[in-house]
Amino acid sequence: MTEKRMSRWYFGGIASCGAACCTHPLDLVKVHLQTQQEVKMRMVGMAMHVVKNDGVLALYNGLSASLCRQMSYSLTRFAIYETVRDMMGSGGQGPMPFYQKVLLGAFGGFTGGFIGTPADMVNVRMQNDMKLPADQRRNYKHALDGLFRSLSSGTRKLFSGATMASSRGALVTVGQLACYDQAKQLVLGTGLMGDNILTHFLSSFIAGGCATFLCQPLDVIKTRLMNSKGEYRGVIHCLTETARLGPLAFYKGLVPAGIRLIPHTILTFVFLEQLKKYFGIRVVS
């Protein structure tokens, strides 16, 4: 008999929160770069600008909203993906085909993206607040304060950018979860490496690169929509206005996005695999 551990439905949310605590400054710099109307600063310059003007702790502006987002968006997509995958794999039919992983990842990510939209919007606003003049700042005390104050403008406003967030969630989940599973399966299939932390690192590095490439254009549009104060009439208008800045505008902040998303993906899966190893559901076959 062999024993293995299966992930509990909420492990993905916990692992993502742990990763977010480590990579939040990179996420904040990425948002600042994406909301520039013209390319004025690069990654290091923007980080130094934030620290110089507002102090080191300013790099953690909006952390409560980031954690709130992970416990809604990431928890949902991981719960859907891993629960369905484990149910389908329990029949002894072997691993799911890659196309099924892609479809499942897209569905889980789309659902999680929609559910996490309010927290995501508050996260973007809190991170970008320090760039605004003092009289234009929203000054949210924390994530819940931001959610309640946004709710006063109507539920529709709370889900501003939900289309982009859901679409981006679908792409990034395909890039992360489906590609991680497939990469791990291929690495283990070589017989050169076992199911250890090095395999988890390599597989999640590949997954992070795939996710960054897939979701960057949508991420830029989503960030602009969520941070807007009415200057965009909708997704198409935001798309055309961004396109006027040139094709590379859709990949503005690509390097910090990759530097943020790849480590975040690595940390998430390393934490998830450790949670599964020590606290997962024991299955004997």
How buried is residue 125: exposed, middle or buried, by Cβ count under 10 Å (0-12/13-18/19+)?
Answer: buried
In the predicted structure, residue 270 carries a pLDDT above the cut 60: yes
Q: What is the pLDDT of residue 5?
A: 81
Task: Specify the higher pLDDT residue, 127 or 264.
Answer: 264
282 pairs with which residues across the strands? 5
C-alpha 13, offset from chain centre: 11
In the predicted structure, residue 109 carries a pLDDT above the cut 80: yes
Beta pairing class for 3-6 and 281-284: antiparallel
pTM of the entire predicted model: 0.81
DSSP 3-state of 241: helix
Q: What is the pLDDT of residue 37?
A: 61
Q: What is the mean pLDDT of the chain?
A: 85
Token digits of residue 253: 């902040």
Q: Which of 89, 67, 33, 13 is nearest to 275 (CA)?
A: 13
C-alpha to C-alpha distances, 79 to 148, 190, 271, 283, nearest whole angstrom: 26, 29, 15, 18
> pLDDT > 90: what percent of the chain?
36
Give the DSSP letter string of the chain. Answer: --EEEE--TTHHHHHHHHHHHHHHHHHHHHHHHHT-SS----HHHHHHHHHHHH-GGGGGTTHHHHHHHIIIIIHHHHHHHHHHHHHHHTTSS-SPPHHHHHHHHHHHHHHHHHHTHHHHHHHHHHHHGGGS-GGG----SSHHHHHHHHHTT-HHHHTTTHHHHHHHHHHHHIIIIIHHHHHHHHHHHTSSS-SSHHHHHHHHHHHHHHHHHHHHHHHHHHHHHHH-SS---SHHHHHHHHHTT-GGGGGTTHHHHHHHHHHHHHHHHHHHHHHHHHHSEEEE-
pLDDT tens, 180-212? 999 999 999 988 898 999 999 999 999 999 999
Query: Tokens 């992983």 appear where?
Result: 101
Q: What is the pLDDT of residue 48?
A: 84
123/269 Cα distance (integer angstroms): 22
Range in 8-22, 107-121, 180-194, 229-243 the model is least confident about? 229-243
Residues sharing a CB contact under 8 Å with residue 186, sequence separation 6 or more, in sequence order: none
Q: Which of 41, 18, 14 is nearest to 30 (CA)?
A: 41
| Dihedral (Cα; 211, 217, 220, 226), 10-degree rounding | -90
Q: 267 and 12 in contact (C-beta within 8 Å)? A: no
